């Protein structure tokens, strides 16, 4: 069976994630991971081409958990404000154990060549999963979001979520109180802002924003 190989891989990943959580990114050296897992350094590299790939492992795991928890939190909530709050708060929830790790993570993730980069190739699956959460948050809301916004909104919200995550990393208040405050304040504002789309003067601006987003996105 191929189980032995997979077992080693899992062992290394588990040990690494545990150490990331408990002592942070920098102190979790490849040598320390190997020693703690009872394998050689080279063996860890046989399964993970770089330390970054171990971070990627963490990223995927956190995203998966977010998908599950968010879906649960969305049940029975129908207004957009509530649905946004649900998705964002659960997002912060699943990241919480890694807060001290956050800055190193982002620093890694932001590099275009990193496997963890949320915009990059290697993270396509994780990004799609995350996008799907926002799509469901938007589509399931009643009263419904203006039709012309519905297509692009999930992506924009996801982008905003990246911003929230960035804010969270810098948030040194206890329990990241400020991030919670930001979410609670911003969610209703987004919902109200979107409802302004009915006002003729505003509608035009919205159209142009969407047009710009699309044109910049397509020209790649």
User: Binders of DNA among 161-200, rule CB under 7 A?
Assistant: none
Sort 143 into a burial class: Cβ within 10 Å, 0-12 / 13-18 / 19+: exposed
Backbone angles phi, psi at 48, to 5 degrees: -125, 115
d(CA 194, CA 138): 12
Q: Is 35 in the site for DNA (CB under 7 A)?
A: no
**Cβ nearer to a second copy, comparing 68 with 196:** 196
Q: Is 42 in the site for DNA (CB under 7 A)?
A: yes
Give the one entry of DNA, a second copy, none that residue 112 binds, where binding means its C-beta sits below a cut-off of 5 to 8 angstroms depending on kind. a second copy
d(CA 99, CA 25): 11
User: Binders of a second copy among 165-194, rule CB under 8 A?
Assistant: 166, 169-170, 172-173, 177-178, 181-182, 185-186, 189, 192-193
| Distance (Å) of CA 8 to CA 11, 38, 50, 57, 112 | 5, 10, 16, 15, 29
Q: Is 23 in the site for DNA (CB under 7 A)?
A: no
User: Binders of a second copy among 56-115, rule CB under 8 A?
Assistant: 103-104, 106-108, 110-113
Nearest to 54 by CA among 25, 109, 16: 16
CB 73 within 8 A of CB 86: yes
Q: How far is the CB of 124 from a second copy (least distance, A)?
A: 15
Give the per-residue contact string, 37-56, with a second copy (x = CB under 8 A; - = no).
--------------------
Contact residues: DNA, CB under 7 A? 1-2, 4-5, 8, 26, 28-32, 39-43, 45-46, 49-52
């Amino acid at each position: 069976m191929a189980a032995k190989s997979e077992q080693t891989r899992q062992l290394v990943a588990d040990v690494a994630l545990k150490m990331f959580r408990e002592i942070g990114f920098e102190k979790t050296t490849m040598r320390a991971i190997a020693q703690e897992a009872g394998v050689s350094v080279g063996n860890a590299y046989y399964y993970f081409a770089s330390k970054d790939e171990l971070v990627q492992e963490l990223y995927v795991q956190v995203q998966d958990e977010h998908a599950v928890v968010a879906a649960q939190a969305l049940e029975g909530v129908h207004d957009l404000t509530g649905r946004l709050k649900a998705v964002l708060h659960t997002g912060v929830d699943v990241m919480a154990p890694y807060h001290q790790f956050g800055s190193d993570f982002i620093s890694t993730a932001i590099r275009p060549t990193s496997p963890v980069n949320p915009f990059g190739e290697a993270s396509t699956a994780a990004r799609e999963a995350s996008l799907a959460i926002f799509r469901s948050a938007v589509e399931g809301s009643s009263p419904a979001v203006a039709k012309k916004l519905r297509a692009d909104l999930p992506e924009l919200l996801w982008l905003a979520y990246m911003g929230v995550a960035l804010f969270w990393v810098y948030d040194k208040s206890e329990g990241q109180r400020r991030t919670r405050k930001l979410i609670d304040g911003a969610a209703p504002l987004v919902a109200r802002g979107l409802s302004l789309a009915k006002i003729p003067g505003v509608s035009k601006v919205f159209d142009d924003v969407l047009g710009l987003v699309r044109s910049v996105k397509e020209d790649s």
